[in-house]
Amino acid sequence: MFTPYPMKIKLLTVLLLFPLCVCAQNRVTVKGRIIDDKGNAIEYVQLGVPKLQIGAISTVDGRFEIEVPCDTVVFFHVSYQPAAYPVTGAVEDVVIVLHEQELPPAVVIGGETKEKYLLRPGMNVLKNIGTISTALRSEHPSGRELGSVVQAKKPFFVKDILLSVRSNHIPGCIASINIYRIEGKKEPFVNILHKPIYFNVPVSDAPQEFDIQPEDALLLEPGKYFIAFQIVGCDKDALLAFLSKPEEERKHWEMTMDFNVFLKSSYIREAALGKMESLPVNIGVAVKGLEYQ
pLDDT value at residue 109: 65
Distance in angstroms (rounded) separating the CA atoms of residues 272 and 55: 6
Q: What pLDDT, on the 0 to 100 scale, is given for residue 28? A: 93
Decide if 51 is inside a domain: no
Give the model's pLDDT for residue 94. 95
In a domain, 178, yes or no: yes
Output the pLDDT for position 26.
Answer: 83
**For residues 227 and 156, is the Cβ–Cβ distance under 8 A?**
no
> Residue 184 sits in a domain of what CATH number?
2.60.120
Domain span holding position 171: 113-292
Round to whole Å and give the CA distance between 145 and 134: 11
Specify the pLDDT at position 128: 66
Q: How far is 108 from 161, CA to CA, in rounded Å? A: 19
pTM passes above 0.85 = no
Does residue 68 sit within a domain?
Answer: no
Residue 106 lies in a domain: no
Mean pLDDT comparison of 42-56, 100-114, 130-144, highest-scoring range = 42-56
What is the per-residue pLDDT across 173-186, written as a single tens digit (0 to 9) for each? 999 999 988 887 66
Q: Does the residue 37 lie in any domain?
A: no
Checking if the pLDDT of 204 tops 90, the result is yes
Give residue 157's pLDDT. Answer: 93
* pLDDT score of 83 more than 90: yes
Higher pLDDT, residue 246 or 144: 246
Cα dist. 119→155, 193, 237 in Å? 14, 18, 37
pLDDT digits (tens, 9 = 90+) for 18-76: 444 344 458 899 999 999 999 999 999 989 888 787 888 899 899 999 999 999 999 98
CA distance 8 to 10: 6
**What whole-number percentage of the chain has pLDDT above 70?**
84
- Give me the number of domains the chain comprises: 1
> Which value, to the nearest 10 degrees, does the dihedral of the CA atoms of residues 180, 201, 277, 149 take?
-40
- Alpha-carbon distance of 61 to 33, in angstroms, equals 8
Is the separation of the CB atoms in 37 and 55 below 8 Å? no
pLDDT the model gives residue 104: 62
Q: What pLDDT score does 25 carry?
A: 55
Question: CA 133, CA 131: separation in Å to the nearest integer?
Answer: 6
Residue 157 lies in a domain: yes
Does some domain include residue 126?
Answer: yes
Q: What span, in angstroms and rounded, lies between the C-alpha atoms of 165 and 143?
A: 19
* Dihedral of alpha carbons 125, 126, 127, 132, sign: negative
d(CA 261, CA 149): 17
Residue 275's alpha-carbon distances to 22, 48, 220, in angstroms, are: 15, 12, 24
Residue 125 has pLDDT above 80, yes or no: no
pLDDT score of 123: 83
52, part of any domain: no
